[in-house]
Amino acid sequence: MRIALAKFGQETSSFSPVATTLDTFRLYGLYEGSEVLSRARGVGALGGFLDATASAQLQWTPVPLISAWAGASGVITADTLKFFEEKLIAGLQAAKPVDAFFFDLHGAGQAENEPDTEGHLLTISREILGDNVPIIIALDHHANLTQRMVDHADGLVAHRTQPHDPFDTGQLAGRMLIAQLRGEIKPTMAWQKIPMIAHQEQFLTSRGPMKEWFDLAREMETRPGVVSASTFPMQPWLDVPEGGWAATVVTNNDLALARKSAAELANKAWELREQFWTMDSISPEAAVRRAVQAERGVVILSDTGDSVFGGATGDSTTILAEMLRQEITQPALMTLVDPEVVEIAISAGIGSEISVKLGGKLDPHFGHPVDITAKVVQIGGGRLETVVIGLESFDMGRAVLLEAGNIMIVVSEARGVGGNHPIVYRHFGLEPANAKMLVVKTASNWQYYQEMTSEVIRVDTPGATMSRLHDFEWKHLPRPIYPLDELSEWAAD
Ligand SMILES: [Zn+2]
Are 314 and 260 in the same domain? no
Domain limits for position 259: 2-276
Residue 228: inside a domain, yes or no? yes
Residue 365: inside a domain, yes or no? yes
For the chain, how many structural domains are there in total?
2
Spacing, Cα 402 to ligand 1 middle (Å): 31
Spacing, Cα 390 to ligand 1 middle (Å): 11
CB of 202 closer than 8 Å to CB of 195 = no
* End position of a domain, from candidates 276, 293, 326: 276
- Nearest 10 degrees: Cα torsion 70, 72, 75, 77: -10
Spacing, Cα 140 to ligand 1 middle (Å): 5
Are 158 and 254 in the same domain? yes
Residue 479: inside a domain, yes or no? no
Q: What angle do CA 86, 41, 189 make, to 5 degrees?
A: 65
- Strand ranges in 44-179 using DSSP code E only, listed in sequence order: 61-73, 100-105, 135-139, 155-158
Are 130 and 84 in the same domain? yes
DSSP symbol at 75:
P
Spacing, Cα 282 to ligand 1 middle (Å): 23
Are 75 and 147 in the same domain? yes
CB of 149 closer than 8 Å to CB of 168 = no
- The pairing of strands 100-105 and 2-12 is parallel
CATH value at residue 79? 3.40.50.2300
Spacing, Cα 277 to ligand 1 middle (Å): 18
Residue 31: inside a domain, yes or no? yes
* End position of a domain, from candidates 241, 276, 311: 276
pLDDT at 211: 98
- Total number of residues shown for the chain: 493
- Nearest 10 degrees: Cα torsion 427, 433, 434, 436: 120
Spacing, Cα 108 to ligand 1 middle (Å): 9
Spacing, Cα 388 to ligand 1 middle (Å): 13
Spacing, Cα 145 to ligand 1 middle (Å): 13
pLDDT at 418: 95
pLDDT at 488: 86
Spacing, Cα 142 to ligand 1 middle (Å): 5
Spacing, Cα 448 to ligand 1 middle (Å): 16
Separation between Cα atoms, residue 299 and residue 311, nearest integer Å: 24
Residues 6 or more apart whose Cβ sits within 8 Å of residue 421: 386, 388, 448
Spacing, Cα 445 to ligand 1 middle (Å): 10
Are 220 and 162 in the same domain? yes
Are 112 and 16 in the same domain? yes
Enumerate the β-bridge partners of residue 3: 62, 100
pLDDT at 389: 81
Spacing, Cα 125 to ligand 1 middle (Å): 24
* End position of a domain, from candidates 276, 302, 322: 276
Spacing, Cα 389 to ligand 1 middle (Å): 9
For the beta sheet containing 187-194, the strands, ordered from the edge strand earlier in sequence to the opposite edge, are 187-194, 245-252, 226-232
pLDDT at 160: 98
Question: How would you write the pLDDT of the chain (493 residues) with one tens digit per residue?
Answer: 999 999 999 999 999 999 999 999 999 999 998 999 999 999 999 999 999 999 999 999 999 999 999 999 999 999 999 999 999 999 999 999 999 999 999 999 999 999 999 999 999 999 999 999 999 999 999 999 999 999 999 999 999 999 999 999 999 999 999 999 999 999 999 999 999 999 999 999 999 999 999 999 999 999 999 999 999 999 999 999 999 999 999 999 999 999 999 999 999 999 999 999 999 999 999 999 999 999 998 999 999 999 999 999 999 999 999 999 999 999 999 999 999 999 999 999 999 999 999 999 999 999 999 999 999 999 999 999 998 887 889 999 999 999 999 999 999 999 999 999 999 999 999 999 999 999 999 999 999 999 999 999 999 999 999 999 999 999 999 999 999 999 989 999 8
Spacing, Cα 53 to ligand 1 middle (Å): 25
Are 75 and 172 in the same domain? yes
Enumerate the β-bridge partners of residue 139: 158
Residues 6 or more apart whose Cβ sits within 8 Å of residue 40: 7, 46, 47, 50, 67
What's the N-to-C CA distance of the chain in angstroms?
A: 40
Are 126 and 225 in the same domain? yes
Separation between Cα atoms, residue 420 and residue 79, nearest integer Å: 30
pLDDT at 391: 84
Residue 144: inside a domain, yes or no? yes
DSSP symbol at 221:
T
Residue 406: inside a domain, yes or no? yes
pLDDT at 493: 83
Q: Amino acid letter at 362? A: L
Spacing, Cα 454 to ligand 1 middle (Å): 25
Residue 474: inside a domain, yes or no? no
pLDDT at 85: 98
CB of 459 closer than 8 Å to CB of 319 = yes
Residue 132, CA distances (Å) to 31, 241, 410 in order = 28, 30, 52
Spacing, Cα 161 to ligand 1 middle (Å): 9
Residues 6 or more apart whose Cβ sits within 8 Å of residue 448: 388, 420, 421, 422
Spacing, Cα 159 to ligand 1 middle (Å): 8
Are 329 and 426 in the same domain? yes
Are 23 and 95 in the same domain? yes
- Strand ranges in 162-283 using DSSP code E only, listed in sequence order: 187-194, 226-232, 245-252
Are 21 and 152 in the same domain? yes
Are 251 and 360 in the same domain? no
Spacing, Cα 72 to ligand 1 middle (Å): 10
Residue 471: inside a domain, yes or no? no
Spacing, Cα 141 to ligand 1 middle (Å): 6
